[in-house]
Amino acid sequence: MTITCGIDWAEDHHDVALVDEVGKLVAKRRITDDLEGFRQLLAMLAEAGDSAEAPIPVAVETARGLMFACLRATGRRVYSINPMAVARYRERHRSARAKSDHADAMTLANILRTDAEVHRPLPADSELVQAIAVLARAQQDAVWNRAQLINQLRSHLKQYYPAALVAFAVRGVGLDAREARTVLAVAPEPAAAARLTRAQLRAALRRSGRQRNIEVWVERLRTVFTGDYLHQPPLVEQAMGRQTLALVAQLDAACRAADDLAEAAAEAFAEHPDAEILGSFPGIGPLTGARVLAEIGDDRTRFADARALKAYAGSAPVTIASGKSHIVRHRRVKNQRLAAAGYVWIFGALPSPRVKAEYDRRRGLGDRHTAAMRNVFNRLLGCLFHCLQTGQRFDPDKAFPGTTPAPVALAA
């Protein structure tokens, strides 16, 4: 008898359902999200015939938390089913829109019973890759949070402190720069900035870590801060200054978190055996490599072929053909983190002559910048899949056999 298991996830408890090969309910139970609940789940599976040689597969909607980490450690196949897909399966069995946790657990179990081959189990990634994924995703979240805080701070300063925007509108120095954060912490209001002496500005810049062109910066900041600008009423300006201090404190924490996590992710990535192969690709440094490896993992059986990896990353197009209609468009349902890492990867790879030649070729065919970047990403993903499967390093001559790099102009 073939048994499948479905678990409906909740914050503090989970509903478990076991069904046989004809869809008949074998056992059901509500377990708590703790060690005792995990023991009860293993006991249920053992009573249904679970063994190390033939473990019962499990379907869940959300594979997160300690319960499911321990469940994956048992070596069984765990399937994470998209909640939208579960909703469509639920409609196959009942026309009423009734919903219950037990019914959802049975629906998940029946999905494995009928369509397990069209769903992919969670990859059997190594512990090191799982650690890299935690660090790389946390660092990416910190970067996104930092960008959001920069936008909030810029919008806020525009309301009462235009001098700060002018002062730090320098290439390579933005509101997230240490100089900007240090000066804004000292002078969160235009009046306070105008009162800063050269000695105070010099001390603030040195505290921020700047070592070069300090006197040039001091004179520039003095000129900007003592200029004529529109002002809010004094009390309003003071209140907005307090808000600036709060935003700068949050931005400080986000910047430190992004830097610390980037260092930790790079160190963990360097320890992985695939780091050498990933690092041989143009545009992939330690941090980008950690982000890419975190999303594709090191389970070689996860993707059946390169096309599956490209679809997962969103670089492969989607074809919609019905009757006389034939539309090809870019893929929207994808791993957003891998797609974001891919854009950074290709942007860093453009200085490579072969990659730049391929990019120019795509532009010459009529692609816009984003489409050309996506096509190059699609090409390099196929190369990455091949290199990881065969253990080879990246070879630009094999990756772009028909592409000739543009000649480099030599100075006379």
Read off the pLDDT of residues 168-195 as tens digits, 9 standing for 90 and up.
988 878 899 999 999 999 999 999 999 9
Residue where a domain terminates, one of 122, 149, 168: 122
Give the pTM. 0.85
Predicted confidence (pLDDT) per residue in 281-292, tens digit: 999 999 999 999
Phi, psi of 234 (to 5 degrees): -55, -45
The answer to the question of residue 173 being in a domain is: yes
- φ/ψ region of 319 (left if φ > 0, alpha if ψ in -120 to 50, else beta) reads beta
User: Where are any strands of DSSP class E within 33-140?
Assistant: 58-60, 78-80
Same domain, 143 and 111: no
Same domain, 263 and 282: no
Phi, psi of 16 (to 5 degrees): -115, 135
Same domain, 25 and 107: yes
Same domain, 296 and 389: yes
For residues 18 and 44, the answer to whether their CB atoms sit within 8 Å is yes
**Percent helix, strand, coil in the chain (nearest 5)?**
60, 10, 30
Give dist(CA 366, CA 360) in Å, integer: 10
The whole-number average pLDDT for the span 234-256 is 95
Q: How far is CA 274 from CA 102, 111, 280, in A?
A: 42, 34, 10
Give dist(CA 249, CA 239) in Å, integer: 16
Total domains in the chain come to 3
The answer to the question of residue 408 being in a domain is: no
Give dist(CA 63, CA 7) in Å, integer: 10
Give dist(CA 139, CA 323) in Å, integer: 46
The whole-number average pLDDT for the span 67-87 is 87
Q: What is the pLDDT of residue 10?
A: 84
Same domain, 185 and 287: no
Cα dihedral 360, 143, 201, 218 in deg (nearest 10): 0
Residue where a domain terminates, one of 77, 93, 122: 122
| Res. 407 pLDDT band, cuts 50 70 90 | low
For residues 307 and 328, the answer to whether their CB atoms sit within 8 Å is no
The answer, yes or no, to whether residue 343 has pLDDT greater than 80, is yes
The answer to the question of residue 404 being in a domain is: no
Provide the residue range defining the domain that includes 53: 4-122
Residue where a domain terminates, one of 85, 101, 122: 122
Q: What is the DSSP letter of 167?
A: H
Give dist(CA 68, CA 82) in Å, integer: 16
